[in-house]
Amino acid sequence: MPADSSPGYPPELSPEEERYLVTNVKDWSIAHGLAVRPAPSFVESSQDPAGVLATTAPVTLFPSLFPHTCFEQGLAIQKAYNELYSAIARDEEWLQEIVKELIEIDDFVGKLWQTHLAVKEAGYVQDLSLGLFRSDYMVHSDSSGSGTSLGLKQVEFNTIASSFGGLSSQVSNLHKYLLTVDAYPPSATAIIKPDSLRQSNSTSSLAQGLAVAHKAYGQSRTGRTLCVLFVVQEPERNVFDQRHLEYALLEESGVCSFRLPFHQTLLHTKLESDRTLLYSPPNSPSYLYEVTTVYFRAGYSPDDYPKEEDWRARLHLEKSRAIKCPSILTHLAGCKKVQQVLATPHSPHLKRFLSDDGVASHVLATFAPIYPLDDSEAGKEAIRLATHPETANRYVLKPQREGGGNNTYRKAIPQFLKDLPQTHWPAYILMEMIEPPPLRNIIFRNGEVQRGGVICELGVYGVCLWRNGSGKNAPGEVLHNWEAGYLLRTKGDQSEEGGVAAGFGAVDSCCLVDI
C-alpha cells in the first residue's frame, strides 16, 4: 500500500474546514469520554492543583488507511496467541529456564520470580487465571523479492495492563460520527466509506472477560458482596480508558468494581485465614467486599515499587484466593525474552505450546527476527550486528519492560551497549526493525494540530480464562478464549516510540483498503 496509492489522503483542509473538524472532535471526545488527564506540560499543576481537569485524548482527525488482509490476519490469529501465552504461563518448568537467565542481571524480573516462589511455598489457592491480552503489530513492507509485499509482523505481546481498550471503541465511533455528519470534505469521503470503517468492540468484550472470571470464581465464601478490584497507578492520566471498562462491567453484567491505588493495597485489603481477599472502601471502612478478580493496571514497571512494602502488597494479592489478571507467571510470560526465544530463527520452542502445525505456522509468520545477546551462536551474531552502527541501524534493542519509552533504536544501540556492562547484555533482546509503508494523517494533541507522515501500530485484544492444572499429569485447560476488538495507535514517522500514555502516539481507527 504505497503512499501514492491515495496521494490526496488526508486532504488539505481550508482554515474553515479544519476549525469545524477540530471543534467536532473536541466536543464529541469530551462528551463520550475519549479523554485523558492533561500532561503537566499542557496544564501546569498550579492551574489544576486538585487534578480534576480532563482533555481530549491524542487522536487522529481521519481514520488511517490499513490493508484489509493484514487487519483480518491480526484478528484471526488472536485466539492462537491467547492459547500460546496461557500455555506458557502454565509451564513453570519451561518459564523458569527462561527467567533464570535474567534473575541475576534484571532486578525487577528477579523480584517477580521471587514473589512467585514465595506464593508457591505458601501454596497457590486459586487455580484459575485470566488474561486480558494485546498483541501489537505493524505492517511490514518487504522489498527483498521481485516486488514489494506487505505482511503483518508482531512488535510485542502484552500480558499485563493492556491499555486503551476503553478508548479504542470510542475513537472508531468518533470517526464514524465525523463521516455521518459530513465533517469530512468530499475528497476524503471518496475513500472513507461506512463499510470500510471497522468498529472496535474492545470495551464491551474486555469487560465481558472480567465478568466471566467473576462468575467462574463461584459463590462468596464469606457471605459478603462480591466485587472486582482494579489495581491502578496514582496519579493516573489514563483513568477514563479504565473507567469505560468499569462502567461496561456494571451496566452489561451487573458486576460491581472498585479502584485501588497500588500503594494503598495493604491499607484497604486483608486476607482471611483461607486467603479470601477482602476489600474495604476508604469511604466506608467498616463495610467489607469479597474480591473475585484482581485486575492489574499497575505493577508492570519498577517505578510502581519504590518501597519494599509495594512488593509485600504484590505478594499479598498473589497469595489471595482472587483470580489474578494477570497472575505473576502470566506477567513473567510477557517478558521480551520469551518473545525472543519463540521468535529466534529456527527456534524449536513454539511447537512445545502449539501442537497444531497449521496454527503454529500462522503464528510463526507474524514473527520478526529477534535475537538474544548472549553466548549462543545466535547471540554472538546479534552482538556483531548490534555493536556496529552500519548494521545496528536495522534493529531495536528492548529490555524486559512494558509501558513505552524503554527501547533503544538503530545507531544509538552501539553506544548504549558500550556504556552498559557486558554482563547485563543478556537482559536485552535485539529485534529487526519492522519497515511500514509510508502514510500521512493529521493528529490532534494537546490542542495542537500536527500534520505529516505517520506510522500505525495495530493492537488486537484477546480474552483467555484458563485452569492452571497441577503438573504434567494435570496440565490445565483453556475455559474461555476469544478475540476482543482492536486498537490502532498512530505516531509521527519521526518518532521511534509508539506509546500513547508515554506521550508518543495517538489513538486512531482503521479505514480498511484493498492492496
Summarize pLDDT for 3-18 with one digit per residue, the tens: 444 668 999 999 999 9
Averaged pLDDT for residues 55-71: 96
| pTM reported for the whole predicted model | 0.93
Tell me the C-alpha to C-alpha distance, in Å, between residue 150 and each of 78, 81, 144, 192, 455: 19, 21, 11, 21, 14
Q: Is 162 known as a binding-site position? A: yes
Across 85-99, 157-171, 333-347, least confident range: 333-347
The pLDDT tens digits for 171-202 are 999 999 999 999 999 999 999 999 999 999 99
369-433: what fold? Answer: Dna Ligase; domain 1 (3.30.1490)
498 known ligand binder: no
Dihedral sign for Cα atoms in the order 484, 499, 373, 302: negative
Contact in structure between 293 and 322 (CB atoms under 8 Å): yes
The answer to whether the annotation marks 402 as part of a ligand binding site is yes
Q: In the numeric block, which cell numbers belong to residue 246?
A: 468499569
List, for residues 421-455, the tens digit of each pLDDT value. Answer: 999 898 898 999 998 988 999 999 999 999 999 99
462 assigned binding-site residue? no
What residue spans define the domains of the chain? 2-368+434-513, 369-433
pLDDT at 469: 82
Task: Kindly tell me if the per-residue pLDDT of 404 is higher than 70.
Answer: no
Residue 208 grid coordinates: 465481558
What's the chain's Rg over C-alpha atoms?
23
- pLDDT tens across 332-383, in order? 999 989 998 998 877 889 999 998 999 999 999 999 989 889 888 888 988 9
SS3 281: coil
- Output b/e per residue, 397-421; b: 16+ Cβ within 10 A: bbbbbbbbebbbbeebbbeebeeee
Distance CA 279, CA 275 (A): 12
Chain-wide mean pLDDT for the chain? 92
Q: Does the annotation place 242 within a ligand binding site?
A: yes
421-415-338-359 Cα dihedral, nearest 10 degrees: -160
Is 448 annotated to bind a ligand? Reply is no
- Three-state DSSP at 166 gives helix
Local confidence band at 496 (pLDDT 50, 70, 90 cut-offs): low
Known binder of ligand: residue 409? yes
Is there a binding annotation on residue 283?
no
Q: Is the pLDDT of residue 144 over 80?
A: no
∠ CA 419-425-430, nearest 5°, is: 105
pLDDT, one tens digit per residue, over 294-318 is: 999 999 999 999 999 999 999 999 9
Confidence grade of residue 495 (pLDDT, cut at 50, 70, 90): low
Check the annotation: does 295 bind a ligand. no
> According to DSSP H, which parts of 123-234 are helical?
165-180, 186-189, 202-217
Contact 233, 297 (CB under 8 A): yes
Q: Exposed, middle or buried: residue 80 (CB in 10 Å: 0-12, 13-18, 19+)?
A: buried
270 is in an annotated binding site: no
Residues 6+ apart with CB under 8 A from 271: 277, 278, 316, 319, 320
Q: What is the pLDDT of residues 97-138, one digit of tens each?
A: 999 989 988 999 999 999 999 999 999 999 999 999 999 999
pLDDT band at 170 (very low <50, low <70, confident <90, very high): very high
Q: What does each C-alpha distance from 486 to 297, 337, 423 come to in angstroms?
A: 18, 25, 39
- Name residue 104's beta-bridge partners: none
Catalytic residues: 134, 156, 158, 163, 336, 398, 402-403, 489
